[in-house]
């Protein structure tokens, strides 16, 4: 791949695909939608958007991309999941549907709709470790968002939120080439998280 502009797909089965395509282009990637295994084979990396993880999971099985995606993740392809995409990257989920499958790859337990009872949707400044201009918080848009309930030893926590119960829950994590956030940077004009991911993709390709 060209080290300057990697090809980054956005899983386009369901969810806020267009916003990610725009954010990735702003972060100097060549962004394109991915629905089929042939399209997945052509990208250097993938974003799994926000949306509804139960539907996305069903469609991934229907379109035959679930297994190829698992294989690419196992082979080290960088993937960034936002919200429903975070759920898709979790090795284990809580409050999922009984038949709900994930791609997996990040050694974490993620709870769907975790903020639900306190607050369906909210926006909040989030301190995100390792971003350029790190002291400036990321504008976190949380929409029926999941949180991370627990992580394995290989998982780096990049951002956390304290809940009303006074417990800190990770809302941004990284394990190797896999990145996940509970919130939606693609819905803000701030593309630092996408730029962080595109840098990770470049580093993985070198």
Q: Using the minimum distance from each CB to ligand GLN, give the nearer residue, 45 or 84.
A: 84
Asked about 127 being catalytic, the answer comes back as no
The CA dihedral of 47, 48, 50, 51, to the nearest 10 degrees, is 140
Number of residues that bind ligand GLN (CB under 6 A): 11
Using rule CB under 6 A, residue 58 touches ligand GLN: no
Q: Which of 9, 51, 78, 105 binds ligand GLN (CB under 6 A)?
A: 51
- Catalytic residue among 20, 169, 184, 194, which? 184
Using rule CB under 6 A, residue 123 touches ligand GLN: no
Residue 36, phi then psi, degrees to nearest 5: -115, 160
Using rule CB under 6 A, residue 53 touches ligand GLN: yes
- The Cα–Cα gap between 205 and 196 comes to 14
Contacts of 38 (CB under 8 A, 6+ apart): none
Q: Which of 89, 108, 143, 193 binds ligand GLN (CB under 6 A)?
A: 143
- The Cα–Cα gap between 31 and 82 comes to 16
- The Cα–Cα gap between 122 and 85 comes to 18
Using rule CB under 6 A, residue 87 touches ligand GLN: yes
Active-site residue set = 83, 184, 186
């Amino acid at each position: 791949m060209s080290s300057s502009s990697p090809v980054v797909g956005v899983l386009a089965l369901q969810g806020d695909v267009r916003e990610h395509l725009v954010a990735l282009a702003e972060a100097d990637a060549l962004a394109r939608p991915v629905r089929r295994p042939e399209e997945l084979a052509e990208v250097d990396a993938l974003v799994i958007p926000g949306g509804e993880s139960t539907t996305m999971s069903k469609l991934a099985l229907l379109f035959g991309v679930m297994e190829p995606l698992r294989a690419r993740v196992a082979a080290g392809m960088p993937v960034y999941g936002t919200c429903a995409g975070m759920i898709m990257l979790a090795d284990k989920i809580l409050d999922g549907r009984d038949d709900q499958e994930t791609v997996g790859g990040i050694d974490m337990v993620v709870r769907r709709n975790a903020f639900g009872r306190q607050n369906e949707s909210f926006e909040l400044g989030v301190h995100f470790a390792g971003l350029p201009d790190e002291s400036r918080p990321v504008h976190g848009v949380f929409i029926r968002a999941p949180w991370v309930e627990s992580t394995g030893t290989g998982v780096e926590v990049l951002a956390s939120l304290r809940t009303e119960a006074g417990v800190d829950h990770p809302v941004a994590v990284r394990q190797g080439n896999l990145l996940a956030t509970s919130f939606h940077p693609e819905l803000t004009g701030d593309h630092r998280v996408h730029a962080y991911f595109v840098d990770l993709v470049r580093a993985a390709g070198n």
